[in-house]
Amino acid sequence: MKLARFSRLGFILAAAGSAVGLGNIWKFPYITGEYGGGAFVLIYLITVLLIGFSIMIAEMLIGYLGRRDTVTSFEELAPRNKHIWKLGGFQALAGLFIMIFYSVVIGWIFNYIITSLSYLPASVEEAETTFTTMLHSNFWIQLFYHTLSFAFITYVVHKGIKSGIEKLNYYLMPALMVILGGMFIYATTLGGFSKAVDFMFMPDWSKVTSEAFVVAVGHAFFTLSLGMGAIMTYAASLPKDANLVKSAFWVVFLDTTIAIVAGLMLFTFLYQYGSGPAKGPGLVFISLPAAFYEMGILGNFFAVLFFIALAFAGLTSSVSLVEPMIQYFIDRFGWSRLKSSLSMGFFFWFLGIFAILSNIDGTKEFLTWGSKNFFDWVDYVTAAIMLPLGGLIMAVFVGFVIPESEVEKVVKPQLKWAYKPWYFSLRYLTPVAMFVVMLSLMGII
Q: Does 199 bind ligand PFF (CB under 6 A)?
A: no
Residue 19 found at the interface with ligand PFF (CB under 6 A): yes
Q: Verify binding: residue 149, ligand PFF, rule CB under 6 A.
A: no
Kindly tell me the burial class for residue 407, based on how many C-beta atoms sit within 10 Å of its own C-beta (0-12, 13-18, 19 or more): buried
Least distance to ligand PFF, CB of residue 329, Å? 17
> What residue type is 198 in one-letter code?
D
Tally Cβ neighbours within 10 Å of residue 171: 12
Residues 63, 75: Cα–Cα separation, whole Å: 12
Task: Work out how close the CB of 336 gets to ligand PFF at its nearest, in angstroms, rounded to a whole number.
Answer: 24
Which is nearer to Na ion, 23 or 89 (by Cβ)?
Answer: 23
Choose the binding region for Na ion from 17-25, 209-217, 362-370, 417-425 (rule: CB under 5 A).
17-25
User: Which is nearer to ligand PFF, 95 or 160 (by Cβ)?
Assistant: 95
CA gap 211, 217 in Å, rounded: 10
- Decide whether 72 or 223 has the Cβ nearer to Na ion: 223
> Given the complex with Na ion, which of 21 and 324 has the nearer CB atom?
21
Interface residue with ligand PFF, options 101, 222, 271, 285 (CB under 6 A): 222
Over the window 165 to 204, marking each residue x when it contacts Na ion by CB under 5 A and - when it does not, the resulting string is: ----------------------------------------
Radius of gyration of the chain (CA): 21
Buried b (16+ CB within 10 A) or exposed e, 362-396: ebbeebbeeeebbbbbbbeebbbbbbbbbbbbbbb
Show the 3-state SS of 12-42. Answer: HHHHHHHHCCHHHHHHHHHHHHHCCCHHHHH
Distance CA 45, CA 48 (A): 5
Q: CB of residue 255 vs ligand PFF: minimum separation in angstroms?
A: 7
Q: Which of 14, 16, 24, 115 binds ligand PFF (CB under 6 A)?
A: 24
Q: Of residues 94-133, which lie at the interface with ligand PFF (CB under 6 A)?
A: 95, 98
CA-closest candidate to residue 42, choices 260, 275, 345, 330: 260
**In the complex with ligand PFF, which residue's Cβ is closer, 192 or 218?**
218
- Which position among 13, 19, 295, 321 is part of the footprint of Na ion (CB under 5 A)? 19
How far is CA 413 from its chain centroid? 30
Q: Which residues bind to ligand PFF, rule: CB under 6 A?
A: 18-19, 21-24, 95, 98, 222-223, 225, 228, 230, 317, 320-321
